[in-house]
A and B are shown apart, each in its own frame.
Chain A
Amino acid sequence: MDANNIIEDNTIVGNANGIFMTSGVHGNIVRNNLIVGNPPVQVSVDHTSSSGFDIKNAATAGTNTFGGNVCLTGVNAPCPALAPPNNTLLIDELQSLGCGSYPPTASCKLTVNQWNYYLTMDINPNAPVLDFGSDGSQLMTVQEYVQARQDAGI
Chain B
Amino acid sequence: MNCYVLKARIFLFCLAVVGASSVWNENADAANISGTIASTLTITEDSALVGDVTCTVSGAPCIVIGAPHVTLKLNAFTINGQGDPQTGCGGAATGNEIGILVNAQVAATIQGPGLVQRFRNTGVLLLNSTGVTVTGVTTATNCASGILVGGGGDNQLIRNVSVRNGNGASACGGI
Binding site for B on A (CB under 8 A): 1-20, 27, 35, 38-40, 43, 47, 50-52, 56
Contact = CB atoms under 8 A, between A and B. Distances in A.
Interface of B is mostly: loop
Contacts of B172: 15-17, 20
B149 A38 contact: no
Contacts of A19: 173-175
Nearest to B155: A5
A137 B131 CA distance: 36
Given A1-B149, A15-B163, A16-B166, A56 B171 contact: yes
B157 A8 contact: yes
A13 B168 contact: no
A5 B153 contact: yes
B158 interface: yes
Contacts of A17: 166, 171-174
A15 B162 contact: yes
A15 B165 contact: yes
Nearest to A38: B174
B156 A5 contact: yes
Nearest to B165: A15
Contacts of A40: 164
A52 B161 CA distance: 18
Given A2-B149, A5-B154, A16-B168, A10 B173 contact: no
Contact of B174 (A6, A12, A27): A12
A10 B165 CA distance: 14
Given A14-B163, A14-B164, A15-B166, A8 B156 contact: yes
A2 B152 contact: yes
B167 interface: yes
B146 interface: yes
B160 interface: yes
A149 B133 CA distance: 34
A5 B157 contact: yes
A9 B158 contact: yes
Contacts of A11: 160-162
B151 interface: yes
Nearest to A26: B153
A154 B142 CA distance: 47
Given A4-B154, A17-B173, A27-B153, 4 more contacts: A2-B152, A7-B157, A10-B162, A11-B160
A7 B171 contact: no
Nearest to A27: B153
Given A2-B149, A4-B154, A5-B156, A10 B161 contact: yes
A29 to B, nearest CB: 10
A6 B160 CA distance: 12
